[in-house]
């Protein structure tokens, strides 16, 4: 086993442990992420396996296949995060709006 494999496996196992600890209350999410982490670990140990899968879907190298799917995955993550930011911004706006209206009405009542 090469050094890079040890580093990648350690990293993946740490991520799995972190996800398990954070998502114990959301088991479905936890299982999906843990499975992804385990698949990643297996692929790191047996790199030739990724190349075989890549070849069957028309990609030359396993590393390239991982790279392409990573781009798709992170694009999806960006969209999810953007949706979350929008939601947070809307919630913040509502608070700011309610305070503005409350203070204006309060000022008129007291004047």
Partner 1 sequence: MASRDTYILIPAYNEAIVIRGVLESLLKLPYQLILIDDGSTDGTEALVKDLPIHYLRHHINMGQGAALQTGFTYARRRNAEMVICFDADGQHDPNDIPLLLAPLVNGETDIVFGSRFMKGAVTNISFARRCLVHMARLVNFFFTGLWLSDAHNGLRALNQEALAQTKLLENHSAHASEFLFLIKKWNWKWKEVPVHIHYSNYSRRKGAKPASGFKIFIDLTLHKLFE
Which is nearer to partner 1, 38 or 100 (by Cβ)? 100
Distance CA 73, CA 30 (A): 17
For residue 77, give the nearest of 36, 24, 20, 22 by alpha carbon: 36
Sign, CA dihedral 43-44-46-52, equals positive
Which is nearer to partner 1, 57 or 95 (by Cβ)? 95
Which is nearer to partner 1, 55 or 103 (by Cβ)? 103
Number of residues in contact with partner 1, rule: CB under 8 A? 18
- Do the Cβ atoms of 45 and 5 come closer than 8 Å? yes
**Contact string (CB under 8 A) for partner 1, positions 47-86, x = contact:** --------------------------------x--xx--x
- Do the Cβ atoms of 20 and 34 come closer than 8 Å? yes
Which is nearer to partner 1, 46 or 102 (by Cβ)? 102
Among 17, 39, 78, 99, interactor with partner 1 by CB under 8 A: 99
Strand, helix or coil for residue 86: helix
Q: Which residues bind partner 1 (CB under 8 A)?
A: 79, 82-83, 86, 89-90, 92-93, 96-97, 99-101, 103-105, 107-108
């Amino acid at each position: 086993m090469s050094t890079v494999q040890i580093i990648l496996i350690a990293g993946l196992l740490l991520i799995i442990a972190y996800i398990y600890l954070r998502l114990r209350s959301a088991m479905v999410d936890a299982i999906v992420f843990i499975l992804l982490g385990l698949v990643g670990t297996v692929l790191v140990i047996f790199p030739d396996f990724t190349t075989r899968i890549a070849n069957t879907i028309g990609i030359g190298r396993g590393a390239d296949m991982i790279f392409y799917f990573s781009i798709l995955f992170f694009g999806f993550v960006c969209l999810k995060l953007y949706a979350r930011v929008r939601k947070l911004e809307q919630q913040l706006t509502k608070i700011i709006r309610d305070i503005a209206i409350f203070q204006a009405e309060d000022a008129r009542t007291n004047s």
